[in-house]
């Protein structure tokens, strides 16, 4: 599933093509992908809306319109891109939403597994109101993180995946942050020392920023809006490296276990 770096890269890739453009029509063939409102209301309301700004909140693409907010969650296999009306793309075979723009271009939402969701709301808090802090924001300070950790006692890997605890972190970057902090994924939050909490806070921010700089990790379905791959996968130290020698300590072999029904990668030597 695309995580914060992949969604941020997508937002940056479509922003210039969307901002200032007016949506003159919309087409979709998968009603279940439209979380809210109902299809008739959605079509009537989005027609004529102008895109003011394109941003991100957690794993949501947020398109601020003149009189509403359009949110897109890519889930596992979603990809959005802006192309001329007559352009043909490999991903078009899975397109379930097309937004016709006023300059003979379209915003397309392709999703082969059909897990992605689209929302049109008056207030984005209707969808994102329960999300935790943005981990790369100035408000996500070490003190804020430490205080939040001290209130928890659950398994740390599962906690990092809880979007109400911290927004935007998923399986890839949780494994990478824990590896960087030398913390075993099944540790419980209440056993972390102050130093480990600080190392984890630094680890979260470092791996997410690196993921953005490398334009996301194209391990499975994720592609940038232009169809090319990101390169973050080339710098991963734990995720997806099962059976390989640990690049951090040079001693351990990366193992894969299951934590909260998610495949989890770690080095038993340097994550003790």
Please write the tens of the pLDDT for every residue from 100-126: 999 999 999 999 999 999 999 999 999
> Which CATH number belongs to the domain containing residue 75 in this structure?
3.20.190.10
Q: Looking at the structure, tell me whether residues 119 and 150 fall in a common domain.
A: no
Q: Is residue 114 part of a domain?
A: yes
How is residue 118 written in tokens?
């689209």
In the DSSP assignment, the letter for residue 94 is G
Q: Which residues form the domain of 8?
A: 4-128
Residue 216: asked if its preceding bond is cis (omega within 30°), the reply is no
- The 10s digit of each residue's pLDDT in 179-201 is 999 999 999 999 999 999 999 99
Query: 29, 106 in Cβ contact below 8 A?
Result: no
Same domain, 80 and 157: no
Domain count, the chain: 2
Burial pattern 24-61, b for ≥16 Cβ within 10 A else e, equals: eebebeeeebbeebeeeebbebbeebebeebebbbbbb
Q: Which residues are catalytic?
A: 2-3, 59, 262
Mean pLDDT of 221-233: 96
Same domain, 91 and 170: no
Predicted local distance difference test score (pLDDT) of residue 259:
96
Query: pLDDT-based confidence at 272, cuts 50/70/90?
Result: confident
Residue 220, pLDDT > 90, answer no
Round to whole Å and give the CA distance between 46 and 34: 13
Tens digits of per-residue pLDDT, 22-76? 999 999 999 999 999 999 999 999 999 999 999 999 999 999 999 999 999 999 9
Centroid of chain to Cα 154: 23
Residue 104, CA atoms < 13 Å, CB-side half-sphere: 3
């Amino acid at each position: 599933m695309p995580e914060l770096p992949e969604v941020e890269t997508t937002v940056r890739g479509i922003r210039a093509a969307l901002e200032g453009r007016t949506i003159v029509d919309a087409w979709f063939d998968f009603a279940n992908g439209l979380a809210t409102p109902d299809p008739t209301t959605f079509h009537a309301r989005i027609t004529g809306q102008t895109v003011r700004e394109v941003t991100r909140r957690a794993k949501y693409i947020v398109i601020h319109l003149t009189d509403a907010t359009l949110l897109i969650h890519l889930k596992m296999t979603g990809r959005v891109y802006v192309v001329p009306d007559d352009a043909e793309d490999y991903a078009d075979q899975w397109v379930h939403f097309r937004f016709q723009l006023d300059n003979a271009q379209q915003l397309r939402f392709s999703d082969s597994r059909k897990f992605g969701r689209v929302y049109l709301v008056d207030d984005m808090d209707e969808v994102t109101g329960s999300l935790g802090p943005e981990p790369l924001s100035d408000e996500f300070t070490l003190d804020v993180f430490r205080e939040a950790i001290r209130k928890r006692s659950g398994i740390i890997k599962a906690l990092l995946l809880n979007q109400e605890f911290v927004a935007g972190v998923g399986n890839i970057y949780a494994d990478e942050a824990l590896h960087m902090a030398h913390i075993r994924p099944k540790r419980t939050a209440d056993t972390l020392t102050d130093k480990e909490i600080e190392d984890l806070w630094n680890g979260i921010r470092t791996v997410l920023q690196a993921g953005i700089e490398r334009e996301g990790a194209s391990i499975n379905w994720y592609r940038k809006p232009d169809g090319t791959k990101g390169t973050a996968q080339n710098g991963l130290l734990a995720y997806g490296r099962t059976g390989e020698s640990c690049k951090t300590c040079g001693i351990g072999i990366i193992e894969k276990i299951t934590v909260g029904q998610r495949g989890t990668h770690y080095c038993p030597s340097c994550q003790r």
